[in-house]
Amino acid sequence: MMQATEASTDRPKVEPMTDLSPETRDQESMVPLQHAVAAHAIPPQALAQLARDWLREDTPNFDPAGVCVGSGNVEARLFCKMAGSILAGGPFFTAVFTELGCTVNWLFPEAAEMGPDGITLVAEVRGPARCLLLGERPALNCLARASGIATRCARLRAMAAAAGWHGEVAGTRKTTPGFRLVEKYAMLVGGASMHRQDLSGMAMLKDNHVWASGSITKAVQATRTVCGLTSKIEVECGSAEEACEAAAAGADIVMLDNLPPRELHAAAQLLKQGFPALLVEASGGVGPENLPQYFGPHVDIISLGCITQGCPVVDFSLKVQKPSCAPGGPARGAVAAAAADPGLP
């Protein structure tokens, strides 16, 4: 059995995803810089704590299956089985295995598009067998979820670029409890705006705030007393009249919520004429199927809850290699073997 002292004292340091093999560095030129280095925004202590929490959730007590595999060193290969997907979540994947004394060698950088083959060898993981298998599911969960969000964001951004719209496609706070850092990070990798990260990041006054305060003006004025110079105030509005009241009261951003596209663009134009510095956000009922209807010269931001809610995940598989597939054996042939293996989880 692997001694706990070895796992804790000899544990490799968590490194950013930009420390890659020479072949992978060559591919970084294909990835927009701001997306490829988004990992540098993640606090290392947050990475380590999340990894520990996920591992503790999945193995709160004994690991009976660990007895049959032992602690001999093995290699596993990470495959992506959905061509066209955007790779995201590598720092979290690596952090899980780092906690267990394993190492990860990435063959692609963050934000790289997988393919063109149906199955792509993405990374290699090495370490004690039982430790590698302890990290398998938590690490794959992070990668699958983050890559799914990044893929959706990249496609939404591509739609905006094709239409010549230069505003921000943004996410929301509709994130999975306890998983927000991963999901917000995935938005960055996919090229979308995170919007506000939490309630402290920006004051957003919604209908319930307004009803409890008495009016939009009262709500904005009261909130401004504690926001100071560093925090913006956004107000959710259901009509052009409400939006004009919010702008006149000093809101920095007005969200036009659940307005039909034609009505929304007319309201946005009216707001920009009266308040040129105001940011106008469209939200509510927006999805990939109707996003182009919300592009317009007076709309600065379009936020979509579907970036995180109901977003498909990307299919990854981690396969431990038999000795014949170890270094020196038919290494790259493993991709073909994986494609023919109906038992891939």
Active-site residue, from 81, 174, 206, 218: 174
Q: Specify the length of the chain in residues.
A: 345
Residue 316 phi, psi (nearest 5): -120, 155
Sole residue written with tokens 């000093």? 250
Residue 249 phi, psi (nearest 5): -80, -10
Cis before 116 (ω within 30): yes
Cα(56)–Cα(64) distance, integer angstroms: 15
Q: Is 232 a catalytic residue?
A: no
Q: What is the DSSP letter of 287?
A: -
Helix or strand run (H / E) with residue 4: helix 4-9
Nearby residues of 334 by Cβ (< 8 Å), 6 or more positions away: 77, 121, 319, 321, 325
Q: Are 122 and 316 in contact (CB under 8 A)?
A: yes
Residues with a catalytic annotation lie at 174
